[in-house]
Amino acid sequence: MNEFKTIKIMKSNFTQILMISVLITFFAAGFTSAQQGENSLENLYQKYLLLKDALAQDNTASAAQAAEDLAKAVPTKGFQALQANLIQLKKKAEAIATSNNIKTQRAHFYAVSDEMIIIAGKSNLSRDDIFVQYCPMAKGHWLSDSKKIVNPYYGSEMLACGYIKEEIKR
């Protein structure tokens, strides 16, 4: 009878250990998935910043490449609440990528920025603060990782035109 109790206790301990292992694995997978989700949005934001900088430098070729990279960085899985915004963001980024005209690229950048601002408001795009900047001449917003105004809508023509309209604190 003593052997039966020992086997029963061992079986009970094994079951508890197995259950704990399954729970740890489940939570670790969820944490990793959440981290990957954050990383993909952070990557998206970094690609957006490269596009903004290329437009501010009046560089159509760099803007086209940055827009192509941005479109490729749009996550296709997860982020159910952001799907409509992500789809529009990708379409407008693709339009910039296929253009070799700075005015056309900047015209599409309005919508790209509008979608990114919505996404920034609903998620964690960055571990740092994000600045929503505005140019009253262009009547357009954009995101920046710096307080310094570097205007993507006018580039060298009016590089410092604009102001910080909002700060998204992290």
Please write the tens of the pLDDT for every residue from 1-59: 566 555 555 555 555 554 444 434 434 434 333 334 456 899 999 999 999 999 999 99
18 is written with which tokens?
């197995």
Q: Which residues of 78-97 are buried (b: 16+ CB within 10 A; e: fewer)?
A: ebeebeebbebbbebbbbbb
Residue 142: φ, ψ to 5°: -160, 165
Whole-prediction pTM value?
Answer: 0.77
Q: For the segment 89-104, what is each residue's pLDDT rounded down to a tens digit?
A: 999 999 999 999 999 9
Cα separations in angstroms, 108 against 111, 138, 167: 6, 13, 23
Amino acid at 4: F
Q: CB neighbours (10 Å) of residue 166?
A: 14
**What's the rounded mean pLDDT across residues 119-140?**
93
**Residue whose tokens read 């560089």:** 59
Please name every residue paired with 130 in a beta bridge, in sequence order, or none if there are none: 168
